[in-house]
């Protein structure tokens, strides 16, 4: 890209040096490795043997490698083209655990494939669902995903899932020290120190954990005993379906699709100067690739995977967002799948160190969510949608008993902040659309023009519609200036009727009046034309009005004329 946003070192289309590419990939894989505890937890819940557990982890690594390539390489209708690769996901862990409790992993594999197919179906209709997936909902998903990543990081660092537990002092110091080093390198570091701040923090934390006796000796024994090279086993693979688990897995697929929307939006914003709106085509391709990744994961014997918000965070934090890093990530994941020692070595990183890295990444995700949400004007309806969704999303993490009103089979699927907060936001967004007018009007008397009242008219409606700040500002200029021109030049007589209409893609303004048609020339009038007549001044005003709108019209029917301004949204 010719102009990169401030802080971005390697944009999505840039080609970083080979060393930067490989080390950045290693940094990403290091962060992804913490989520490999999910397939291990699923295998433990199913009562699987160590051999099946190892096979499940290896299959997950292969699925992640292929899923990464599906996301970063645009092939046919697949791939967002951004570095937002998948990881074992919190949105799939709960329904997967429910399926695994029966002791038969084949149900989990079959239902994962079903969820992936459903996500792929959602991808095909995403452009039509844009009114539902508004920027404040997308920003909410990003925010809640960032909070979820931060919560997972804190719980991992403190080795506890209970808010009132007392953390081990050594773990707390190790985690805080690792986090402090990453923050210092990112804020005050230059060049490679900033680019590889997470990787350096992981390495330093690993050494500190070894010095403090925080390395798990059992895991180190597993590293030593593991073969150097081994092909992933597929003996655990089988497929079956359970209609009773359809709802939890389909809910997970919806949350997964929304998470992709948020991650791709973050990536678009990070790579575009003056970003104003999400590219739904790229998002749709990303969701399609993500769904296919889960289908393939279930097919080869892995739990569901989903675009990782924890992977998007480091790209934003370090300024390295090139899609070519995805090739290194995929290559390293495949190496780990076939070289068990390396994968187990990464898995031996002390949990406080990995937790610190996740907390570090979550801060950038949370801020990106806030920026996306506030890119639009917000009225009381949208404020309530966001505020209540955040409060209830956090509430289920703090007070899980709130879900007692739900059927027991559904409680696990709603039991994390990302899923519950997102569903609350979507539900309220649908509810609050009732009674929201998409077209409004007002009348202005020619002798009582109040520019402040006109501005307020569009401000109030813009907030109700969730319109972008810049679009409303341009519309306000055209509305005020067109009415003042029509009245001051005596082109209009009698009251002026103003109508404004909006959808998620367009804002249209129309001013109708009794009088002559307003000229909106494409060429600026000459100095002589402006000086010599009032018509020249009107033509200059008409020319300026054309510059602030994406399309303009001026027509007359009978005694009434209409001037219209269209703004792409």
Query: Cα separation of 432 and 194, whole Å?
Result: 44
Average pLDDT over residues 136-161: 77
CB atoms near residue 265 (< 10 Å)? 30
Tell me the C-alpha to C-alpha distance, in Å, between residue 364 and each of 98, 266, 317, 385, 560. Answer: 32, 10, 7, 23, 54
pLDDT at 475: 92
- Are 105 and 46 in contact by the 8 Å Cβ rule? The answer is yes
pLDDT at position 285: 94
Residue 341: how many CB atoms within 10 A of its CB? 17
Q: What mean pLDDT is reported for the chain?
A: 83
Model confidence pLDDT, tens digit, residues 226-265: 788 888 777 778 899 888 788 778 878 888 888 898 889 8
Is residue 292 scored above 60 in pLDDT? Answer: yes
pLDDT at residue number 410? 67
d(Cα 310, Cα 152) in Å, to the nearest integer?
11
- Which of the given ranges, 82-96, 122-136, 178-192, has the highest pLDDT on average? 178-192
Spatial CB neighbours of 564, under 8 Å, sequence gap ≥ 6 = 508, 509, 510, 511, 552, 553, 554
C-alpha to C-alpha distance for 138 and 309, rounded to whole angstroms: 13
Q: In the prediction, which pLDDT does 2 show?
A: 45
- Which residue would you say has higher pLDDT here, 455 or 527? 455
Where is mean pLDDT largest: 90-104, 173-187, 359-373? Answer: 173-187
Secondary structure of 272-292 as H, E, C letters: CCCCCCCCHHHHHHHHHHHHH
- Where does 339-439 have alpha helices with state H? 340-347, 351-373, 380-398, 411-414, 417-432
Cβ-in-10-Å burial (0-12, 13-18, 19+) of 233 comes to middle
Tell me: pLDDT of 409 over 70: no
Per-residue pLDDT at 162 exceeds 60: no
The residues, any chain, with a CB within 8 Å of residue 1's CB and separated by 6 or more, are 11, 12, 13, 14, 271, 272
Amino acid 491: pLDDT: 83
User: Is residue 522 very low, low, confident or very high in pLDDT (cuts 50, 70, 90)?
Assistant: confident
Three-class secondary structure assignment of 24-93: HHHHHHHHHHHHHHHHHHHHHHCCCCHHHHHHHHHHHHHHHHHHHHHHHCCECCECCCCCCCEEECHHHH
At 233 the pLDDT is 76
| pLDDT band with cut points at 50, 70 and 90 for residue 388 | very high
Distance, in Å, from the CA atom of 227 to the CA atom of 338, rounded to the nearest integer, reads 10
Whether 320 shows a pLDDT value over 70: the answer reads yes
pLDDT surpassing 70 at residue 164? no
Q: Which of 78-92, 386-400, 409-423, 443-457 has the lowest mean pLDDT?
A: 409-423
pLDDT at 166: 67
Between these two residues, 235 and 57, which has the higher pLDDT value?
Answer: 57
C-alpha gyration radius of the chain: 28
Identify which of 1-5, 48-52, 246-250 has the greatest average pLDDT: 246-250
Question: Residue 70 pLDDT > 90, yes or no?
Answer: yes
227, two tokens: 């073969």
Residue 159 has pLDDT above 80, yes or no: no
- Is 559 within 8 Å of 501 (Cβ atoms)? no
The answer to whether the CB of 30 falls within 8 A of the CB of 199 is yes
The predicted-structure confidence for 485-497, as pLDDT tens digits, reads as follows 888 888 888 899 9
Residue 485: is it exposed, middle or buried by C-beta count within 10 angstroms (0-12/13-18/19+)? buried
What own/partner pairs with CB < 8 Å and gap ≥ 24 does 409-415 have? 409/244, 409/247, 409/248, 410/247, 410/248, 412/94, 412/95, 412/97, 412/98, 412/248, 413/94, 413/95, 413/247, 413/248, 413/251, 413/252, 414/251, 415/94
Residue 31 has pLDDT above 80, yes or no: no
CA distance 551 to 524: 16
Q: How far is CA 505 from the centre of its chain?
A: 20
Least confident of 18-22, 292-296, 400-404: 400-404
The answer, yes or no, to whether residue 545 has pLDDT greater than 80, is yes
pLDDT at 141 exceeding the cut of 90: no
pLDDT of residue 543 exceeding 80: yes
Q: Is-above-0.85 flag for pTM?
A: no
pLDDT of residue 380 exceeding 60, the answer is yes
CB atoms within 10 A of CB 258: 27
Q: In this model, does residue 438 exceed pLDDT 90?
A: no
The predicted structure's pLDDT at residue 178? 92
Determine the longest span between alpha carbons in the chain, in angstroms.
Answer: 94
Whether residue 317 has pLDDT greater than 60: yes
The pLDDT, as a whole number, for residue 290 is: 96
pLDDT of residue 1: 41
> What pairing do the DSSP bridges indicate for beta strands 560-568 and 492-502?
unpaired
Q: Concatenated DSSP letters for 379-393?
A: -HHHHHHHHHHHHHH
Query: DSSP per residue over 478-537, as a string?
Result: HHHHHHHHHHHTT-EEEEEEEEEEE-SSEEEEEEEEEEPPPP--SSPPPHHHHHH-HHHH
- What integer pLDDT is reported at residue 37 of this predicted model? 67
pLDDT at residue 305, as a whole number: 94
Q: What is the mean pLDDT of residues 106-128?
A: 91
Q: Given phi > 0 = left and psi -120 to 50 = alpha, else beta, which region is 277? A: beta
Contact (Cβ atoms closer than 8 angstroms) between residue 287 and residue 257: yes
Whose structure tokens read 């009114």? Answer: 131
Q: Look-up: residue for tokens 């739900």?
A: 406
């Amino acid at each position: 890209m010719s102009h990169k946003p401030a802080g971005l070192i390697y944009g999505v289309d840039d080609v970083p040096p080979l060393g930067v590419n490989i080390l950045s990939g290693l940094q990403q894989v290091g962060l992804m490795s913490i989520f490999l505890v999910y397939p291990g937890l699923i295998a433990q819940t199913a009562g699987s043997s160590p051999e099946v557990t190892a096979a499940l982890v290896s299959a997950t690594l292969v699925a992640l490698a292929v899923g990464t390539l599906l996301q970063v390489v645009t092939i046919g209708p697949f791939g967002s083209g951004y570095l937002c690769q998948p990881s074992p996901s919190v949105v799939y862990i709960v329904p997967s655990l429910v399926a695994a409790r029966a002791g038969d992993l084949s149900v989990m594999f079959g239902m994962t494939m079903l969820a992936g197919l459903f996500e792929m179906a959602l991808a095909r209709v995403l452009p039509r669902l844009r009114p539902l997936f508004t920027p404040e909902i997308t920003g909410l998903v990003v925010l809640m995903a960032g909070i979820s990543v931060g919560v997972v990081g804190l719980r991992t660092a403190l080795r506890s899932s209970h808010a009132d537990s007392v953390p081990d002092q050594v773990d707390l110091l190790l985690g805080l020290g690792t986090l402090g080093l990453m923050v210092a390198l990112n804020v005050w570091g230059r060049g490679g120190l900033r680019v590889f701040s997470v990787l350096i923090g992981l390495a330093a934390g690993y050494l500190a954990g070894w010095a403090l006796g925080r390395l798990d000796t059992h895991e180190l024994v597993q590293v030593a005993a593991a073969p150097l090279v081994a092909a992933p086993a597929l003996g655990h693979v089988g497929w079956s379906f359970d209609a009773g688990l359809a709802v939890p897995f389909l809910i997970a697929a919806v949350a997964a699709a929304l998470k992709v929307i948020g991650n791709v939006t973050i990536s678009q914003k990070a790579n575009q100067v003056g970003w104003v709106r999400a590219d739904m085509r790229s998002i749709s391709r990303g969701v399609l690739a993500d769904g296919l990744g889960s289908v393939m994961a279930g097919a080869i014997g892995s739990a569901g995977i989903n675009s990782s918000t924890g992977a998007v965070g480091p790209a934003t934090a370090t300024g390295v967002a090139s899609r070519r890093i995805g090739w290194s990530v995929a290559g390293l994941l495949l190496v780990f799948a076939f070289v068990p020692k390396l994968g187990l070595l990464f898995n031996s990183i002390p949990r406080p160190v990995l937790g610190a890295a996740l907390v570090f990444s979550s801060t950038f995700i949370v801020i990106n969510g806030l920026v996306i949400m506030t890119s639009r004007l917000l009225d009381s309806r949208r404020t309530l949608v966001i505020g209540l969704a955040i409060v209830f999303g956090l509430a289920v993490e703090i007070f899980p008993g709130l879900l007692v009103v739900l059927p027991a089979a559904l409680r696990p699927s709603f039991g994390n902040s990302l899923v519950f907060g997102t569903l609350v936001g979507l539900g309220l967004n649908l509810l609050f659309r009732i009674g929201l007018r998409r077209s409004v009007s007002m009348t202005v008397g020619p002798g009582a023009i109040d520019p402040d009242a006109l501005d307020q008219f569009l401000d109030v409606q813009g907030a109700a519609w969730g319109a972008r700040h810049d679009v409303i500002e341009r519309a306000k200029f055209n509305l005020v200036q067109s009415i003042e021109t029509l009245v001051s030049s005596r082109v209009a007589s009698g009251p002026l009727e103003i109508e404004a209409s909006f959808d998620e893609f367009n804002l249209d303004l129309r001013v109708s009046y009794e009088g002559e048609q307003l000229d909106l020339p494409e060429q600026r009038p000459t100095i002589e034309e402006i000086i010599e007549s009032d018509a020249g001044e009107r033509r200059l005003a008409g020319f300026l009005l054309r510059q602030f709108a994406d399309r303009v019209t001026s027509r007359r029917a009978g005694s009434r004329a209409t001037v219209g301004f269209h703004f792409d949204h």
